[in-house]
Structure 1
């Protein structure tokens, strides 16, 4: 049965591959990524997949913006949390 998923960091390498698999399996996917380290090319690829027009929802926002996240998370079955700052120096200088 199709479900609704959120993939944070969905424009990154791992997140975009999770989103791709979910879309190919017929699920609805909400990708959350502020593109700080994610790649627009990964999102462009997802948008070309069959069914993406109806089942892929891209949200260009930070996972720290609670008010923006509230409506996205309504009715979601599962969350894949892949968002991260992959650089220790960057995380220390701008937590």
Structure 2
């Protein structure tokens, strides 16, 4: 993972204390599209599981992720897909 992906991971770990976190750079799939940069690291998928999402709707969960990454989203990341789950939801999906 590159510098931007590493920064995303570090910021989410510090802000949301995830039980599980996966940051996937999808930039290569978007080469030539709007917002893509020659050096990549513009399009990401974040899969995050944290107890902080308990009792929150999907929009509220996404807002927490976006707030944690506000600086990167403003200056470096063009697109972010988010899969935000509670530990119970992640556990039930794993079965």
Q: TM-score, normalised by structure 2?
A: 0.29
- Of structures 1 and 2, the one with the larger relative CO (CA 8 A, separation 6+) is 1
| Larger helix proportion of the pair | 2
